[in-house]
Structure 1
Amino acid sequence: MSKTQDGKVFAKVEFPLYSVEVLDSRHVLVAGGGGAAKTGVDNGFEIFEVSHDGENFVGEAALTHDTGSNAVMNCACHTDGRKYFLVCGQESHCQLYNANISVTKESDVIHNKDDKKDEKSGIRQRKSVSNGSNPNQRTDSNSNAFKKLQFKINLGDSIQTDFSEGEPPLQRVVRISRSGQLMATGGLDGHLRVWQFPSMELIHDISAHTNELDDIDFSPDEKWVVSVGKDAGGHIWDCAKAARVKTLTWETPEKAKFLFKRCRFGIVEGNKSRSRLFVLANPVSGRSKKNSYLQFWNPQEGSIVNVWPSSESLSALAVSDCGRFVAAGTMFTGSVHVLIAFSLQQVLHVPKAHNMFVTGLAFLPSATASADCVEAAVLSISVDKKVCVHTVHERRTMPSWVAIVLIILILFLTFVLCSVLGL
């Protein structure tokens, strides 16, 4: 049964948001900007530490990094447990950043009324919070000073990933595989490029689409990478051979033209060797009266298993790390929908979570979201500069032993009633 909920504001930033990524179980990253125009709007990314205040998930700014005149329109991240790697699409190039974490005392953090910015690192150091009840702060056993996690950003390599000739080249999407060994990029030139990561060495250059790419994703086992583009095509590729494995073809309603917008693989619960594929498909006319669809595909067969219709265009897609839930964001009303992955049954609807279209979605890790009877928590972002969090609470079910006791009790009472009535 679907539940309607208001979106809770997780955090606010100073620039329009286009990408959201989970760094680890306690940190998330959002990115965006106002572009090269001198509008006074910053460009960059911000890292938030995730905590729970007993009622809601909340984010505390851990770092803000300014990327100069380049807005971050897409990004991806990976950690090996010690180092954090971040890649950002900045016009035609993909910029690599390395991040290290250190633990600092409260007294070591700069205290200013306004944020101060390190001109060399581009890091704004936030005014510290002195509230001892803040769950993001840690008390040193040898002193009364609080400890905080601090990120240090180091600039890495920058590589050109798009070579469009008809218009200024632009990287549209970047993804990193689960193991962190592969990276895939796509842009206006329609090429899908697979890179060794983090060395950023080109492995495959695939002429995947005749028009720009909209989205790509790696399968959980990293054997495949899926791509969708504005040529209405959707294809699954073999990562090792750079060969096309499947083409996503379906019978569209009334033979209308649809474009695939987003694509995400998800694991099958209890079997990480198998995967599901979820795709958003919108009618070509954005204001068309035809439904848009969230589609559940069997990637091995290249066939649709199930669909969920939406009365408005869909703009964002995410799958939980456990593979149990899938979320979709809408274009015109800024709404968020959360569904059960295998059945596409809607369990949560958040109407008008944002003032404008949803630009990105990301589920918090299952271990993080499992607090306080929460089955899943998904973050949504938009150009309205807000990060919102939406939670799916545990659906109460009756234990099997209670059901058995009730059945026995009902049978007993029925027998007694029949005896009294002489039946």
Structure 2
Amino acid sequence: MATTRRSRTRYSGSQRSGDFPIACAAWYPSFPNSRQEDLAYIISGKVTDESDTASTGSLELFHYDYKDGDLASAHIHDVDEGQLLQSIAIHPKGGGAVCSFSSDCKLYNLGKSSGLQLKVSDQDLAPLKDIGPQMAMIFSTDGSRLATGGKDGHLRVFEWPSLTLLFDHPDGYGLLKSIDISLDGAFLAAIPATGKYCHVWDIEKSTIITTIHNSNKNELFGLCKFSKDGTKPFLFLTITRGGEGSGIGVWDMEAWNKLGIKTFSRDPITSFATSHDGKWLAIGDAAGVIRLIEVKKMQISQTTTDAHTSKVTLLDFSPDGRVLMSSSIDSPLSVTKRNLDKEWKEWQIYVLLLSLIVGSAILFYVFFQHSDSFWNFPLGRDQPARPPPDAIYGHVTDFDGGEFM
């Protein structure tokens, strides 16, 4: 039976250390009644003991404090013996976390009956029972579809939460390295472990609409991501070019033409992530270096070299994109803040304009009160230069009601 246990361990700074590597991890969108501006949550899975005959693992819930930069373990859920963790997909609207084990998948939700903790959901996941290990899983951006890629290359797309099977391709191409669903939920991209090509499927029609091949035999595809900014539809593929470093290739989604390839690292890219607003990409390489890339310019805006000393195995942006979670063999979980200039929000611009108007009025008032006599106009009734009424209207006794002369 699975058991749960609470952990009071806190980790100073953003680095989380441990003895066991992380098998899978992702940010949880939010938790009801939480201080969203201050806290964010991460669910991670790890193998705590593995041998030829048995294996054990656990799911761990962390909360990250934006103000202090602290990552703390909130709850540990031990899984059944022999259920080796493979991958995790978290619903983008907080509808739970689907975890793949050796034989089937389970759905976990966040509960708060006796403190924040992970609980196995009562939702029926019959179509995912005995499905086997899924090496890759991902929800569509709106959470209406779940794509899975089995160890044998079997691709499936389910409607969520009904789990109606929309796409089923059992003709495996071997172990899958990476899958992703387009922003509109219409296309599915998949790269096999060989890295020799990338298939793009039309989910509704269950047909391949294009196959992207390597330009030459020295190139290998690694990971795939669709653009998410909603303006220009692109497909990003990480590419390792033998002896020439590795980078990102960009294909448009209209004619599926290659727009270009840009090199970002001398080492192979081992992890890839996109921010939820689609403005940023993140790559981690075999040397443990993390690079943040601005999509608009396709330029590196931030490089982190001290988070890991070995290959980065996973990357994931927080829901608001303020921090980046990463993992490697040497340091299971690390959180890195984005060192970027803050973007102006609309209300901040209005506050600034109002401040300028008020400030200008105050300065004018001070200047007026302390200016010389030329500007400090006399305003009293008995002004020295004010002429007497007689000089303008004459004496009141001179007017007898006749014609005024």
Question: TM-score of the superposition, structure 1-length normalised?
Answer: 0.67
> How many angstroms apart in 1 are the aligned matches of 2:273 and 2:24?
12
Q: Is residue 2:359 matched to residue 1:389?
A: no
Instruction: Give the equivalent residue in structure 1 for 2:43.
Output: 29
**Structure 1 residue 34 displacement after superposition:** 4.8
**Structure 1 residue 378 displacement after superposition:** 0.9
> How many angstroms apart in 1 are the aligned matches of 2:138 and 2:152?
17
Equivalent of 2:71 in 59, 66, 81 = 59
**Structure 1 residue 207 displacement after superposition:** 5.0
Query: 2:119 aligns to what SS in structure 1?
Result: strand
Change (3 A) 1:19 1:320: same
Instruction: Give the equivalent residue in structure 2 for 1:137.
Output: none
- C-alpha contact (below 8 Å) 1:35/1:70 kept by paired residues: no
- C-alpha contact (below 8 Å) 2:27/2:41 kept by paired residues: yes
Equivalent of 1:307 in 257, 261, 267 = 261
Change (3 A) 1:397 1:264: closer
Aligned residues: 319
**Structure 1 residue 266 displacement after superposition:** 2.6
Q: Is residue 2:195 matched to residue 1:185?
A: no
- C-alpha contact (below 8 Å) 1:334/1:358 kept by paired residues: yes
Instruction: Give the equivalent residue in structure 1 for 2:100.
Output: 89
Change (3 A) 1:348 1:241: same
> How many angstroms apart in 1 are the aligned matches of 2:155 and 2:299?
33
Query: 1:267 aligns to what SS in structure 2?
Result: coil
Could you tell me which runs of 5 or more consecutive residues in structure 1 were left unpaired when the two chains were aligned.
Answer: 1-7, 105-147, 163-169, 370-375, 402-423
Counterpart residue type for residue 281 of structure 2: V
- C-alpha contact (below 8 Å) 1:36/1:70 kept by paired residues: no
Instruction: Give the equivalent residue in structure 2 for 1:261.
Output: 222
1:107-165 deviation per Cα after TM superposition (whole angstroms, max 9, x unaligned)? xxxxxxxxxxxxxxxxxxxxxxxxxxxxxxxxxxxxxxxxx534433476342445xxx
Counterpart residue type for residue 42 of structure 2: V
Instruction: Map residues 303-342 of structure 1 onto 2, 5 A cutoff.
Output: 303-309=257-263, 310-331=265-286, 333-342=287-296
Q: Is residue 2:23 matched to residue 1:15?
A: no
> How many angstroms apart in 2 are the aligned matches of 1:290 and 1:208?
34
> How many angstroms apart in 1 are the aligned matches of 2:205 and 2:275?
29
RMSD: 3.0
User: Relative contact order, CA 8 A, sep 6+: which one is greater?
Assistant: 1
Instruction: Give the equivalent residue in structure 2 for 1:350.
Output: 304
1:350-392 deviation per Cα after TM superposition (whole angstroms, max 9, x unaligned)? 12522321111000122xx5xxxxxx42110112343112222
Query: 1:241 aligns to what SS in structure 2?
Result: coil
Equivalent of 1:153 in 117, 120, 145 = 120
> How many angstroms apart in 1 are the aligned matches of 2:331 and 2:83?
17
Structure number with the higher strand fraction is 1
Counterpart residue type for residue 226 of structure 2: F
Query: 1:393 aligns to what SS in structure 2?
Result: coil
Query: 2:228 aligns to what SS in structure 1?
Result: strand
Equivalent of 1:172 in 128, 135, 158 = 135
- C-alpha contact (below 8 Å) 1:196/1:203 kept by paired residues: yes
**Structure 1 residue 15 displacement after superposition:** 2.4
Could you tell me which runs of 5 or more consecutive residues in structure 2 were left unpaired when the two chains were aligned.
Answer: 1-12, 31-39, 345-351, 353-405
**Structure 1 residue 242 displacement after superposition:** 0.9
- C-alpha contact (below 8 Å) 1:248/1:303 kept by paired residues: no
**Structure 1 residue 94 displacement after superposition:** 3.7
Change (3 A) 1:357 1:39: farther
**Structure 1 residue 103 displacement after superposition:** 5.9
Counterpart residue type for residue 326 of structure 1: L
> How many angstroms apart in 2 are the aligned matches of 1:22 and 1:298?
29
**Structure 1 residue 180 displacement after superposition:** 2.4
Question: TM-score of the superposition, structure 2-length normalised?
Answer: 0.70
> How many angstroms apart in 1 are the aligned matches of 2:137 and 2:239?
20
Counterpart residue type for residue 281 of structure 1: I
Equivalent of 1:102 in 112, 115, 139 = 112
**Which structure would you say has the larger Rg?**
2
> How many angstroms apart in 1 are the aligned matches of 2:328 and 2:185?
30
